[in-house]
Amino acid sequence: METIEELKEKTEEEVEETPAADFFMGIVLMILSTVVCSVAWSWPRQGGFASSAALFPFGIASTLFLMGMAIFIQSFRRKGYRLFLQWFRAKPFRDGWVHGNLRLAVASLLTVLIYMIVILNLLPFEVGTFIYLVGTLFLFWRGKVYKILIISAAVVAFYSLSFKMLFKLVLPGVGM
Amino acid sequence: MDAIWVAIGDLFTVRMMIIAVSASVLGMIWGAMPGVSTVMAMALLVGLTAQLSTYEAVMVLLTVMVSSVYGGSITAVLINIPGKATAIPTAIEGYPLTLKGEGGLALGTTIIGSFIGNWIGIIALILCMPLIMAIALKFGSWEIFLLAFWGIVICGTLVGKEKPIKGWISGWLGLLIATVGVEPIHGVPRFTFDIPALIDGIGELPIIIGLFGLTEVLKSLSSPGVKVEIKKVSSIIPRFSLLRKQFGTIMRAGFIGLIIGALPAAGPNIASFLSYIYAKQRAKGEEREKFGKGSYTGLMAAEVADNACIGGDMLPTLTLGIPGSAAMAILLGSLNLHGIRVGPAMETHHPGLIYFFYGALIAANFLMYGVALMIIKPGVKLFTMKKEILMPIILPLCAIGAFGINQSIFDLYVMLAMGLLGWALYKMRYPLAPMILGVILGPMADENLRKAIMIFQGQEATLLTVLSRPIGTVMLVVVAFTFYKGLTRKA
């Protein structure tokens, strides 16, 4: 029943209050919608504003501004700004790194970024994906080296053969 | 009548059957693997379906959907790890049965429940489609705009849980993304920033794969894994005698699944929980005592509702072009890639396609049944593959899917950006389903709103004239009511 309890906790977590995130998001949304509104206002308006290209984005952005303001005010009442500032203090960061999932989060983010931005821009798909898989499986799974090598090689061979031959797809990477 | 026979003929070709069986096996394995949701499985496949014919693409996506919805129940019963949130009630009732040595019978019950649930959905779909399509044909631009808009609002309201505003924000962000590119009425470039790749707008496919594939990879890799203990399972026996005993439960669960499925984005999560809770409330005496300790009634209620949702989901998707769930939004995205626009005029523009949908759903249901019986026992090891192995393997698949169609590195970066955005939004407790609905429905809402305004301007219509359109006015009230209910919901 341990897993069920975990999932229940996860479901409850989904509805938890997030004042710090709301504070941040409120500001982001207000800035974003202001920019969208001002850009949309500058577009040509054939046949008047009501049927122009700007109408829809302008309407969406202006209501988004109101929503952003609403969550900003709500978070402000719940001391969201203070909690937001705490994000930048060393202690919660250190706690998250040592006891929480922060280390895993950073590792997964870096893995994805390195694969997508660096590896696929420098190496052919097969070579790049093999290197990525070996590195990632070693980092996250920590299985035996020979198993990691076999799995990585098998996955690359499967992807390359099935997508290139069966689906006739061009795979990403250098020399595609 | 000819169209029906043509559709059946297309369905039963050798190539189609091979594709369908492969998709069913793949869907079941993916559905059973914790961390790979139905939506993710479909998102990863959309790119590949672009290489197939329209009918083959429909077959693949429907089969994967039907099989993966069931697949989630396998690990729930066997190892107490629901493949997805919809299978939590199944785990609550199924795993205790496995501990008692009745795992095989419990799995048999879930197979029967899913099979019957799917049939309820399919029959309701076939019966209700013509009626809803006839009504939908009366829709003008104004009504279509309101419908698309309502789809996003209700989706945000339902999946936003205690905070509907977060659901709406997600939907609105999707609508904004959809406005990028040259707009179709006056040809004005919007938010293109002189970048040639943005002239045609941001493709739906990299957005879908980013939001539902890459986000899931990041989510799974950044949380610790769970230890798995596999119990022995007796032979899997689907007992049809259960149907007689559980008839009332099945009918109620089917009804709940259908109604919940037909609401945009309410989806099987709500349906299976609601149906399970309702069955528990109705149970009396000894049966009630069994709930939580291994109840076949609870198991059946959750499974039937979960699967009946599929038919319910498809109703608004096919008749109105409003996706009933994120999975349906992906299906629409795939159809868009093939130049298919679903909606009331679908039968006129694509004769026979609707019958193919019916046939494909029926075939997918039978395949689910057969494949489940065949692969459950030998596949247990595979279903329990650690996410630390699975997720790194999925990332190259996301890259292939996003890159494959246009062979554009830009699409790859869009997918990356969407994955990061989806992960950030998930961390801040924003639902992602409304965003994808916004992306899919945005162009439809934008174009129809402006067309409607132009028509009203041409007719020199007053507010009273606009309000005298009965369907439009009803929809306007529905939109306003949905907003009101969302705003007044207590946190």
**What tens digit of pLDDT does each residue of B152-201 get?**
888 888 777 668 899 999 999 999 999 999 988 888 899 998 888 898 88
- For residue B47, the chain A residue with the least C-alpha distance is A169
Q: At residue A152, does pLDDT exceed 60?
A: yes
Whether A137 sits inside 8 A of B400 (CB atoms) is no
The residue-averaged pLDDT of B326-348 equals 83
The residue-averaged pLDDT of B345-371 equals 88
Which pLDDT belongs to residue A16? Answer: 62
The residue-averaged pLDDT of B322-347 equals 82
The residue-averaged pLDDT of B4-19 equals 84
Residue A13 pLDDT class (50, 70, 90 cuts) = very low
Between chain A and chain B, how many beta carbons pairs sit less than 8 Å apart? 190
Alpha carbon distance B378, B383 (integer Å): 10
Whether A16 sits inside 8 A of B429 (CB atoms) is yes
Q: Is B111 exposed, middle or buried (0-12, 13-18, 19+ CB in 10 A)?
A: buried
> Measured between beta carbons, which residues in chain A are less than 8 angstroms from residue B159?
none
Whether B172 sits inside 8 A of A71 (CB atoms) is no
Residues B186 and A44 sit within 8 Å (Cβ to Cβ): yes
Q: At residue B258, does pLDDT exceed 80?
A: yes
Alpha carbon distance B423, B370 (integer Å): 37
Whether B400 sits inside 8 A of A163 (CB atoms) is yes
B positions 412-441 inside 8 Å of A (CB):
412-413, 416, 419-420, 427-430
Q: Which amino acid is at A57?
A: P
Q: What is the DSSP string of A8-51?
A: HHHHHHHTS--HHHHHHHHHHHHHHHHHHHHHHHTS--TT-GGG
B149 touches chain A (CB under 8 A): no
Which pLDDT belongs to residue B265? Answer: 57
> Measured between beta carbons, which residues in chain B are less than 8 angstroms from residue A68?
169
Interface predicted TM-score (ipTM) of this complex, two decimals: 0.88
Q: At residue A2, does pLDDT exceed 50?
A: no
Which pLDDT belongs to residue A112? Answer: 93
Burial B45-73 (b: 16+ CB within 10 A, else e): bbbbbbebebbbbbbbbbbbbbbbbbbbb
> Measured between beta carbons, which residues in chain B are less than 8 angstroms from residue A29?
169
Measured in degrees and rounded to the nearest 5, phi and psi for residue B435 equal -65, -45
The residue-averaged pLDDT of B82-110 equals 82
* Percent above pLDDT 90 for chain B: 21
Beta-bridge mates of residue B190? B181
Residues B98 and B233 sit within 8 Å (Cβ to Cβ): yes
Residue appearing with tokens 């996410």? B387
Alpha carbon distance B150, A117 (integer Å): 38
> Measured between beta carbons, which residues in chain B are less than 8 angstroms from residue A60?
172, 175-176, 179
> Measured between beta carbons, which residues in chain A are less than 8 angstroms from residue B429?
14-16, 18, 21
Residue A33 pLDDT class (50, 70, 90 cuts) = very high
- For residue B445, the chain A residue with the least C-alpha distance is A56
- For residue B397, the chain A residue with the least C-alpha distance is A159
Residue B338 C-alpha, separation from nearest chain A C-alpha, in angstroms: 16
Provide the 8-state DSSP code for B81.
-
Alpha carbon distance B483, B477 (integer Å): 10
Residue A7 pLDDT class (50, 70, 90 cuts) = very low
Q: Which amino acid is at A128?
A: G
Whether B388 sits inside 8 A of A140 (CB atoms) is yes
Q: Could you tell me the sign of the dihedral formed by the alpha carbons of B86, B89, B94, B100, in that order?
A: positive
Whether B163 sits inside 8 A of A15 (CB atoms) is yes
First CA to last CA across chain A, in angstroms?
48
- Residue to test with chain B: of A56, A69, A83, A121, most B Cβ within 10 A: A56
Provide the 8-state DSSP code for B196.
G
Measured in degrees and rounded to the nearest 5, phi and psi for residue B189 equal -75, 130
